[in-house]
Structure 1
Amino acid sequence: MENKARRSPSLTFRVLFLASLWAAVALVVIAVVISTLYRQSAEKSFRDLLRAQLYNVINTVSAGENTRLAGTPQLGDLRFFQPQSGWYWIVEPIGGALEGEALTSSSLGTGSIPIPDTDSIPFDTRYERFYTTVDSFGNEVEVVETEVVLDDEGRTARFRVVGNRDVLEQDIDDFSGSLYLALLGFGIGSLLLNAAAILIGLRPLDRARKALEKIRAGESEQLDGEFPREILPLASEVNALIDSNRRIVERARMQVGNLAHSLKTPIAVLLNESRLIPAPQGELVKTQADAMQSQVQSYLNRARIAAQRESVLARTEAQPVLERLVRVMRRLNAERQFPLSVDPPGLVLAMEQQDIEETVGNLLENAARYARTSVSVKAYAAPADMRGSDDARRSWIVIEVEDDGPGLEPDQIREAMKRGKRLDESKPGTGLGLSIVSEIASEYQGTFGLSRGPRGGLLARLVLPAVTKDVA
């Protein structure tokens, strides 16, 4: 159960994770969409710029009287004058009507531009075509091309304006970098605000959890506090369930208590009458009556434990009770030592004082009966591997009673734990002591076990609930 609770994912974590994942995916999609749209817009603007420069070249070039191309385009851009810049204009004569060489910008120099044929990249409806190529200087360039009839005699020239795509890519990269940085800051801010909103929104659930833990710890009898409309029905149902369970437990406790009380008087009569019956019949009747009385008392104790556990959790400081028990045992067994250790001081058990006295007292009586020289008693906070419940959030205290007697073998330990079983018939007792100890520990959701101690004697270990000082 503990492992299952640890593996169970947190609702807060799941909501935060899903919200963060959605925000991250949304921001990535937004970044890709905006970058794509900006690239499309930038490429269109770049082509519009080249088209405008193309029209400027067309307006400044004509067919001269000597059948040669004439004109000196001034595009107002210094890049068309810088050698190998990737920004060029070219005017070539077509057919035999024009003679002479092509006109080119000074930036092209002796370089050249690879020209694809019109079959692979045809002219559009405006009789223009755009294509990307690499000039002889290694620049990736965008080319806009058209053909224009210069005069009435049909003399035609092919016009090209070339722009360096590095400018376009640099502009897109700058924009993308700024966009990603802005979205990153926005995303981090959104995640923080999301986390704050989720944590604040789920705070009522945390209050409900703390209220439930207070009920479990015995500090409250119902879910108290103000809850939002979404949680209020749940809180009301839980309170109704707690009330119903309390009534059921109370009714069962009363029935067990009534039955046990109704048996006490007949048992007392049997005990009195057994004294008048000659042995061995009288002794047999007395022994059985004692056993019945112990069992009745045991069920009364269990009913009382169930009742107090359903209301307010009992609190008993361990050290004063243990010191009082040890003091009594020292008086009754002056020939034996009873060292006591409580570490750390101030341990508080979540039990009734009467139940602590009955459990530890039984263990001390058994240990003193078989010990040679000493019986040690230790109380300490339980480590993680000694907890008596699946609820890892609860605190536990270990009480160990060890004697230096002959001890018991594993099969003898199993027999000793059985109700009414006595391994040594020569010593007084009903054989119910260890069984009662086990039952009381179980009622408090703790554990009880026997083993061979380091000194060779019997080691009895109780793991009992402690008072949790801070309810998480």
Structure 2
Amino acid sequence: MTAAAPEPVATAAPSRRLRIAQPRSLQSRQLWAASLGLVAFLALAGYALDRAFQSTAQSGLRERLHSYALAYANSDFARDGSVIPPWDPPDPRFRRPGSGLYAQIVMQQGNDWESDSAQGPRLPKGAMLAPGRQVFEGPLPLTQINGTPGQVYRFGYGLALSDGAEQAHEIPYTVYILEDSTALGRQVAAFRAALWRYLGGAGVVLLLLQMLVLRWSLRPLRDVIDELKRVQSGAAAGMGQAHPRELEPLTESINAFIQSERENLERQRNTLADLAHSLKTPLAVLRTRLDSGTGEAELRGEVDTQLRRMNDLVSYQLARAARSGHQLFAAPIEIEPQAEQIVVGLEKVYAAKGVLCEFEIAPEARFHGETGDLQELLGNLLENAFKWAKSRVLLTVAEGPQAAGRRAGLLIVVEDDGPGIADDRIAFVLQRGVRGDERVQGHGIGLSIVQDILKSYRGQLHVGRSRELGGARFEAELPAGL
């Protein structure tokens, strides 16, 4: 019996989710964010303007009803306490039943009065107000003349009529003016329609303008992408220089990376060429010895000598090839611990000379690169100084020149109290391609390694005479970093 095959595990859904979760382009992100912000702003602005218009319209309605109330406040009263309203009402609508504008006068005795317009609708009844008190209410419910429900705004004004000098003969009454909310609703609706129409049009115009501004502001990024594509295809040697200030660190880093890769390739080619050229001579010597019929003992000695020479050449060239340039964004390295480790070993090698090495290392100085490069740089300079010094070697490390927005450079100076180097010999000592047996002892292969390291870091090596100790002075200067 064969076992049933396991059911396949569905993996399409997670991959689909991953594809959906992928971020949009910068232009899409900015457009969506700005559009949402614009819509939110227009919505809040529209709401604020709508509330402000409603408040203004209600305030205007209150003032209008107040003026009507003042007109009815001058009403007369009969002996029986009934109200005698003004002959000419402040608005003709007070005479037309169900017109939407109503007047009420509430008396303490209960003989209230209503305008002709109140005949038919069922209006809300108001209570007596204290003299001088004003209220504005609404919207309040009412029943229209045709029986349909409606709403009104009501303004009340408490008054008192005195028929003598004593307050006991005052006649308190309250004037209420009511107006249908339909007129105010029509005003608000008309304002809202115009408001949202204009805000909508302004929003569309602003969105189009925003798209144009985004395309214009992101154009430098598209130019950088186009240049990078040309560099990848080989149509351009590097990134251009005409870029906005914000993109300059990016383009400079890309150019530095391109230059570093080209220098690495060139260094590898030079290393292979130097290795091949260096091995030609020992191989040629061995071939000549073999062809000449040299004796076995002499041939063994020659083979041993040439093998040691080839081994030294291969080790040296491999060491150079292993240093494939510095890292562009390496972590800073403290210099004093590395220097102490190197000096301890050199003091053991040159213990017979009793050389004293002094440090003057700035606490803030840091080496931004590979630890091996720092060790090679300090090791070769200090070893040369120990070889030629009589009794003193001075290592000085300080921060080099600084540039705005970039890390500080580095200055490493090694001095000794030995015989020094004549000025006319400096160019020869630093000449590239000079092998160890062609140089003065102590300033051969080590200086070539130092120069290679400094070249990979865009640095320079200066050789002169030490003013303080009187011997040679080697100054390695590393520029400010990216």
TM-score scaled to structure 1, two decimals?
0.49
Q: Name the structure, 1 or 2, with higher relative contact order (CA <8 Å, separation 6+).
A: 1
Tell me the TM-score normalized by structure 2.
0.48
